[in-house]
Amino acid sequence: MSLNHGINTYKSDTDFAVAAETPVGIPFFIGAWPCHAGAGYVGKVQLLNSFAEAVTLGGYSSEWRDSTGAPKWTLCEAAYSHFKLFGMKPAIFYNVFNPATHNTAVAAATATVKNHQIKLPVDCIDDSNLVVKTTGNTPATLVKDTDYEVYYSGENCIVELLPASTSYSATSLSVAYNKANPGAITATDIENAVEEIEKCKSILGIVPDLICAPGWSSTASVAAVMAAKASSINGIFKAKAVVDLDTSASGADDYSEVLSVKNSNGYNDPNMIVCWPLVKSGDKVFALSTIMCGLMAQIDSENGSPYESPSNKTIPITGACVKAGTEVYLSIPQADVVSYSDGVVTVLNNDGWRAWGNYTGCWPGETDVAKNFICTSRMMDYLCNVFVTMFWGYLDRPLTPVLVDAIINSYNSWLNGMTSDGQLYGGEIQFNEDNNPTTALISGKFRLDTKIASPVPAQEIDMYVEYDVDLLTAAFAE
């Protein structure tokens, strides 16, 4: 046995958890994009950081809605809003469109050839059903990659003749193909896709905290499924469902109908952020839910947490409308009816277009401040998500007072930091013996109780003014 005769010192690792970076303001967009014009159908969640990535993977079409206003390529809308209008990243996308099943046949028709090219719509699917033939009494079938090649450029599918082809100088050809039919996607498909958020952690290592299905969440059953999933992702994480009310003639195509449509369709969940109406940027029409996801991501990114309300923040839009295209211009009192009386986020053009509304879907029926304000409710979710992330590595360690103290000290230190930054009024976590009976401890279970208060939005600022005659008298007495 050796001996180090003297006084010896050694450094041990500190049993103190540092707050791991917990994603906030990360949307999970559900819908369809023309993936046949991109990397193809993958059937799994995808994490994207730029509009260029979105186009490469999912293709692009500006036809976000069809001629009836029904949802079409809504993930293109989401990508445009999040990456182009707001410049935010990342975002998670789940595409339900599968070109192998969601398609319809387009019968052979004569197409004009210009500069050795035929321009077909981006909805054309490049598969074995794309058949190009010569015209005339004895049509001949052209061979792909011998007589022509197919590629997507912009919002077109290009059939380009090759110089070696005997049809290189043709002025017209017959073309038949399968056309993408996203109209075959149903609300049930979207509802099933909501469950795919469960795979984000294992596939991407990120759990989104905003769920958005533009064009689809105005269907009550879809919104309900979104809210239910938002309350518990993987059984431990929490999020918010950002949803839209129907703005059609059978829904709320006027601000006075918002509360009735909201209540009759069950948009009253504390895990919902309910939006009305549609909004525009130039000639592009967006679901307000899409814009709100970008706005909340922007604010969260600046602050590092969701403690600040998105209300009264400017947004990059040029107008608002309903499904039929009718413009919507709300006065301040009308916007207050929608935002305060109805508990629905809307937009207001007052020194620029702004999001307007502080409440989750449960208002005005729910008066609990931890549930009814968007910022306080999201902050409660965030604090829970941070706790899970910080201390997941402590699971299955020996349950000792040292372990409990390490968790308490670490989390209290983090809460104190949030308080110093002005993102909390205050907060404390503690071990209460009354809530931790021996029967629980012997089973390896213990409970910690946390009290926090996060800032509420300054919704009303009152200033009273009176005329002071003494000031007048004093002015003339000088």
Whether pLDDT at 11 is above 60:
no
Alpha-carbon gap, residue 91 to 209, rounded angstroms: 11
DSSP per-residue letters across 165-189? STTTT-SEEEEEEEEE-GGG--HHH
Question: Is 0.75 topped by the overall pTM?
Answer: yes
Alpha-carbon gap, residue 59 to 33, rounded angstroms: 7
Per the CB < 8 A criterion, the answer to whether 41 and 35 are in contact is yes
Alpha carbons within 13 angstroms on the beta-carbon side of residue 97 total 29
pLDDT tens figures, 81-94: 999 999 999 999 99
Kindly state the average pLDDT of the residues 117-132.
Answer: 97
- What is the pLDDT, as a whole number, of residue 18? 52
End-to-end CA distance of the chain: 97
Burial class for 249, CB neighbours closer than 10 Å (0-12, 13-18, 19+):
exposed
- What is the pLDDT, as a whole number, of residue 475? 94
- Kindly report the average pLDDT of the chain as a whole number: 95
Q: Which of 19-33, 49-63, 354-368, 450-464 has the lowest mean pLDDT?
A: 19-33
Whether pLDDT at 13 is above 70:
no
Query: Given pLDDT bands bounded at 50, 70 and 90, which one contains residue 70?
Result: very high
Query: Given pLDDT bands bounded at 50, 70 and 90, which one contains residue 23?
Result: confident
**Where along the chain do its domains lie?**
27-98+185-375, 103-180, 398-478
- What is the pLDDT, as a whole number, of residue 2? 62
Return the axis-axis angle of helices 374-391 and 401-420, rounded to nearest 10°.
140
- What is the pLDDT, as a whole number, of residue 17? 52
Whether pLDDT at 15 is above 60:
no
Alpha-carbon gap, residue 268 to 64, rounded angstroms: 28
Kindly state the average pLDDT of the residues 150-164.
Answer: 97
pLDDT tens figures, 381-413: 999 999 999 999 999 999 999 999 999 999 999
Structure letter (DSSP) for residue 150:
E
State the virtual CA torsion across 212, 214, 220, 224 in degrees, nearest 10: -10
Alpha-carbon gap, residue 399 to 40, rounded angstroms: 49
Alpha-carbon gap, residue 129 to 107, rounded angstroms: 10
- What is the pLDDT, as a whole number, of residue 4? 61
Per the CB < 8 A criterion, the answer to whether 222 and 190 are in contact is yes
- What is the pLDDT, as a whole number, of residue 276? 98
Kindly state the average pLDDT of the residues 71-90.
Answer: 97
pLDDT tens figures, 195-207: 999 999 999 999 9
3-class DSSP assignment, residue 28: strand
Whether pLDDT at 14 is above 90:
no
Structure letter (DSSP) for residue 73:
S
- What is the pLDDT, as a whole number, of residue 136? 87
Q: What are the Cα distances from residue 396, in Å, to 318, 384, 403, 430, 445?
A: 54, 19, 11, 20, 10
Between 50 and 3, the more confident residue is 50
The answer for residues whose C-beta is within 8 angstroms of residue 143's C-beta and 6 or more apart is none
Whether pLDDT at 10 is above 70:
no
Alpha-carbon gap, residue 76 to 477, rounded angstroms: 71
Whether pLDDT at 54 is above 80:
yes
Return the axis-axis angle of helices 220-230 and 187-194, rounded to nearest 10°.
0
Whether pLDDT at 166 is above 80:
yes
